[in-house]
Amino acid sequence: MEMLAKNFRKIQGRKDLTQRLFQFFPNDMTNRDILFLCIGTDKATGDCLGPLLGTYLQEAGYDNVIGTLDAPCHGVNLHTIVNSLPVNKQVIAIDACLGPEANIGTFELRNGPLRAGEGTGNDQRPIGDYSILGFVNVHTHNMKINRENLQSTSFGFVRKMTQDLKIALMARFPLE
């Protein structure tokens, strides 16, 4: 139950996200301690939040990133990538997700793993020591509609969310 108390939900906007990242992660955790695991694919605009973020971070000089537009981490290769993660790093798993309409455009921080692919029926094993979920579109109880929602999500919307997350993460975990 203690871990749930540290979770933050419905974080919206760059300023709120940055503030919450500083409150969420341990004060002594630095960029050297972590690995950004950016999950998703650019084959569905709603699912590109992870690899787009990974690309932005890599272009900014971060070398502790797995999952970019050029080398995505997705359902096909996720198992292999997870099995090769370094054990001396805290993994921050980042993924797009579907949720209630009221959550669209917000982020959720979790103390613990996420399950990639859960909203589209491609549920993977839990991944990450910490998780960041970006709500990009509406979740329904119909997996076909959920996949369509990911396919039809506005790229501009996902791009804005990704830029906000990139700036917040760079503030919390600056390059040394």
Q: ∠ CA 2-5-11 to the nearest 5 degrees? A: 150
End-to-end CA distance of the chain: 35
Give the count of domains, the chain: 1
Q: Say what the pLDDT of residue 7 is.
A: 66
Q: Say what the pLDDT of residue 1 is.
A: 22
Q: How far is CA 116 from CA 38, 44, 73, 123, in A?
A: 11, 14, 10, 6
Taken in order 141, 142, 147, 149, is the CA torsion positive or negative? negative
Report the C-alpha gap between 116 and 97 in whole angstroms. Answer: 8
The answer to whether residue 64 sits within a structural domain is yes
Q: Answer yes or no: are the C-beta atoms of 39 and 67 closer than 8 Å.
A: yes
Tokens standing for residue 87: 């054990």
114: containing domain: 35-172
The answer to whether residue 23 sits within a structural domain is no
The answer to whether residue 24 sits within a structural domain is no
The answer to whether residue 158 sits within a structural domain is yes
The answer to whether residue 11 sits within a structural domain is no
Q: How far is CA 110 from the centre of its chain?
A: 11
Report the C-alpha gap between 32 and 100 in whole angstroms. Answer: 35
The answer to whether residue 53 sits within a structural domain is yes
The answer to whether residue 16 sits within a structural domain is no
The answer to whether residue 27 sits within a structural domain is no
Mean pLDDT, the chain, as a whole number?
89
- Give yes or no for residue 113 having a pLDDT over 80: yes
> Can you give the CATH number for the domain in which 61 is found?
3.40.50.1470
At 6, the pLDDT band (50, 70, 90 cuts) reads low
